[in-house]
Chain A
Amino acid sequence: MNQTADMATALPEARYVFLLPRARSFLTIVASTAALILACLLFAPSSVSWGALSGSLPFAAIIAIVGLGQLLVVQQGGFDLSLAGGVSLAVVISTHFPQGDNSLLLPAVLMAVGCAILAGLANGVLVSLFRLNAIVATIGVNALLYGAVFAVSGGVPKTTTTLLAAIAGGQTAGLPNSVYFALAALAVVSFVLKKSIAGRRFEAIGANPLAARSAGLRVQRHQLLAYVYAQLLYCMAGVLVAGVTREPTAFQGDSLLLPSVAVVVLGGTSLLGGRGFPISTVIAAFFLNQLSQFALAVGVPYSAQTIIQALALGFGIGVYSLRWTVNVVKQTKPILKGGNNEALG
C-alpha cells in the first residue's frame, strides 16, 4: 500500500521536475543575473570590479534579508507594509540607545528584537485573528512604528557605535560580513521552510488555507507567526543598515519596501501566496542591487538610470509571467483529472 502510494506521488514529480515552479523561477533569475553580469562586463566593467562589489554587496545583503521577511508574509497571501517602520525602528534603537557606547550595543539589539516581536504580533493578530486586510493592518502598524521611531530619535540621525560598524560593516575572508548574515538568514529560512514539519505546514497553509484547515492545521497560528518572523528579519536588516551606514537617518527603511516586494516577485513567489523560493529571492536581491550599480556605472543621467531599472524589472517579471501561464496550462491538465488540486499549480 505504501509502495504504491509512493509511486503515485513520485511519478508526476519526476515527470514535471523541470516544470516545477522552483526550477523555473530559479533558472529564470539565474539566467537574468548571468545576463546582467555579462552586460556589466561589456558596458560597465567597473561595476563588477572587486572594489565596487565589496562596496555594494552589503546593500544587496540587506535587500536579501528584508526580501526573505517579505517572502514569508507573501507566502501566506499577505503583504507587509510595516517593513519601513520595522527597519527604521531597529536602526534608531541600535544607534540612539547606545549613544556610541559599545557596551550598550547588546542590550540595544535585544531591545530592537523585543520591539520587532511586538510589532510582528500586532500585525499577526490584526491580520490572522481579526481578519483585517493585510495592507490596511500593516499600514496602521507602520504608522505606530514610525511613532516609536520619532519617540526614540526625534528624527535625528546618530553616529553608529564602532563595534556595530566593525561587525556589520567589516569584512571576513574578503567578503563583507553582512553577506554572511544574509547567507545565515537564507540557510535558516530555507531549511525550516523546506525540511521541517512546521515549514511544510506553513507552505501548505499558504497554498490553500481552507484545505489546510480541514486537514487540521493551525492556520491562524502560522499566519500570525509569519508576521513575527518577518519583523525579526527586518530587525536584523535594520541593525545591519545601522552598522553599514555610519550615520543612518531615521527613515532608512523607506527605500527598502519596494525592493523587498520586487525581489519576492522576481524570485518567483506568487503574490497570491503558496510556495516560497528563498534562494531565488536572495539571488534576485543581488540582481536588483547589481542593476542599480550597473545604471550608476554606465554614467547616464538619473532619469535614464530609473528608466533602465524599471525596464529591466518589467522585463524580468514579464519573462517570468509568460512562462508561468504556459506551464500552468500544461501542468494542471493531468492533475485536474486526478482531483481538485489546483492549489498545487
Chain B
Amino acid sequence: MKLSARRKLAFAATAAILALGCSHLAQADTPSWCGPKQATLALLDGYGGNSWRQVTTASGKEEALKCPSITKYEYADGQGDTQKSISDIKAMAAKGIDALVVFPDAGPAMLPAITSVYKSGKVIVPYRVEAGGKADTNYNKFIGTDFKNDGVNWANWIKGVLPNGGNLLFLSGPAGNSQGLDELAGMKSVLGPEYKFINPEPFDVTNWDPALTQKVLTAEIAKNSKIDAIVSDFGPSLVGALPLFEKSGRSIPALATSDGNSLGCFWTEHHANNPDFKLFTVSTENDNVRLAVQWAVAVATGGTPPTEEIFKGPVFENSVTGDPHPVQCRPDLPGAIYLSAQLSPEKQAEAVNSK
C-alpha cells in the first residue's frame, strides 16, 4: 500500500512537471512568424485532384495550425476550372477570411482576382506558379520555387557517378513548361560538353503522365543503345516505364529525380538485379506551401516574416552515399506519398486515402 501510494505520488509529481514543461514548450514553440493578432486563413488550390496536392493541402493545414492566432482554416479546390478558381478567391474574401494562400494554376489569368483581393485590404500570398504582377502592388508576396537549384543538385550528383561524362536523358512535363526549362538551365550551369543530352531539345515531353512516359521511354531505349543516366522531375511516373530496360536485357541506368514512396520501393526491389541503377532524389517539395503559409500568417497576425522568399527543395535520397538519407520505402503505406515531406507518412496516407 505504502509503495503504491508513493508510486501514485511520484506519478502525480512527474505528470505535473511534464504538464508544466509542456506548456512552457508550447509557448516556446509558437513560431516567430506567428503574431498576436487573431486571423482566419484559407488555402486555395487551382486543381486539387492528385496525391501531391492532397499531401500539400494537409501540410499547409498543419503549418497554419502551429499558430494559435489562426482561428479558422478553410480550403477550396478550383478543380482545374479557372472560373471556379477565380470565384473561390472572391468568395473567400467576401466571407471575411483575412489571409489567402493561393496556388494559381491558371497563371496570369488569376492575377486580376488576386489583385482585387489585395486591393480590398486582405493578405494574399500566391506560391509556386507565377501569376505575373509585383509584390506590394498585386499581392503581398510571391513564394516561388527554385527549380534551377534542383537541376544543380542533380548535375552535381551525376558528375559524381559519371565523372567521365555520358549520355543523359531528361524528361519533364508538358511542352515548354518553365519548371523543366529552369531545371535544364541549372544542370547546364554545372555539366560540361562531355555530358550529352540525347533527348530532343529541351526535354522529352511526358505531360507527367505515366502512360505517355512509358511510350516516350520505349522509343528512347530502342533508339539509344547507351543511356548512362535519366533525369526526370517527376520520379514516380517512371516506375511503370523503367522495367522496359530489363525487358530489353539492359540494366536500369542511374536516375536523378524527385522522391516518391513508390519509386523508393521500386529501387529497393530492383537495384540488386540492375548494377547501374543508382538513385538520387530531391524533395518533391510539398513543403513549399509551408513557407507560403508562414508568410501569409506573419503578415496577417503581425508576426516576423521568414527570411526566405524562394523555396529551395532539399536533397532527399542518395543510394550511393546514403547522405542525407539512403533510399526509403514504406511498403505498408500507399505508393503515392512523399517521404521527403515534413508531414508524417501516416498523416500523408490518411490525406491520400481520405476519399
Interface residues of A (CB under 8 A from B): 44, 46-47, 49, 51-52, 54-56, 59, 150-151, 153-159, 241, 244-250, 252, 255, 292-293, 296-297, 299-303
Contacts and interface: CB of A to CB of B under 8 A. Distances in A.
A156 B175 contact: no
A55 to B, nearest CB: 3
A250 to B, nearest CB: 7
Given A244-B214, A246-B239, A247-B236, 17 more contacts: A51-B247, A51-B248, A52-B221, A56-B215, A154-B49, A157-B51, A159-B336, A244-B240, A245-B240, A247-B210, A248-B240, A249-B50, A249-B209, A250-B49, A293-B219, A297-B219, A299-B223
A297 B222 contact: yes
B222 A51 contact: yes
A245 B242 CA distance: 11
Interface of B: 48-51, 54, 175, 200-201, 205, 209-212, 214-223, 236-237, 239-240, 243-244, 247-248, 262, 334-336, 352, 354-355
A55 B354 CA distance: 35
B49 A47 contact: no
Contacts of A297: 219, 222-223
A100 to B, nearest CB: 9
5 contacts: A150-B355, A246-B210, A296-B219, A302-B200, A303-B175
A153 B353 CA distance: 8
A52 B355 contact: no
Contacts of A157: 50-51, 210, 335-336
Contact of A300 (B200, B214, B239): B200
B-side binding surface: helix, strand, loop or mixed? helix
A136 to B, nearest CB: 20
B210 A156 contact: no
A301 B216 CA distance: 13
Given A55-B214, A250-B49, A303-B175, A158 B223 contact: no
Nearest to B48: A155
Given A52-B222, A250-B49, A241 B211 contact: yes
Given A153-B355, A158-B335, A302-B200, A47 B219 contact: yes
A309 B50 CA distance: 30
Given A55-B214, A301-B200, A155 B219 contact: no
